[in-house]
Structure formats: structure tokens, C-alpha cells
Amino acid sequence: MTLSQAQHTSINRMDRSAIVGILEDHCFQCYDSETTEELRDSLRSNIEDHTIDACVLDS
């Protein structure tokens, strides 16, 4: 699955706590040493491979 521009924009507008919340809700561990951009990339890749459903961006 390729993310739409709207989905990329939605992820880019999320603050770190929102990204961490989504990842942790899906049993991923997030560390302070990871940059917000690394966490965004992780969220993107997990949505693209369907590990995380894209509907999380609708909340």
C-alpha cells in the first residue's frame, strides 16, 4: 500500500506523543533516543505494510 499525500500530511502534523501513542497501542516500544522523524518513518512503514491499519490516522 502506498500512502496518499493526505496520509503523509496527517503523519507529518502529528506531534511526538500522538505517534508514540499509536505505536505503543500496537505493541511497539518507543525510546527517547529515537527522533520524532524516526518514529514517523516507523509509523509510515507499518501502515504501508498493514501492520497498523491506516484508520488510526482518522482519529
The band of 1, judged by pLDDT with boundaries at 50, 70 and 90, is confident
Output the pLDDT for position 59.
67
**Dist CA 18 CA 27 (whole Å):** 15
Among residues 50, 26, 1, the alpha carbon closest in space to that of 39 is found at 26
Is residue 3 a contact partner of residue 47, using CB atoms and an 8 Å limit? yes
- Residue 43 and residue 22 in contact, taking contact as beta carbons nearer than 8 Å: yes
Residue range 7-54, pLDDT digits in tens: 999 999 999 999 999 999 999 999 999 999 999 999 999 999 999 999
Determine the 3-state secondary structure of 22 from DSSP.
Answer: helix
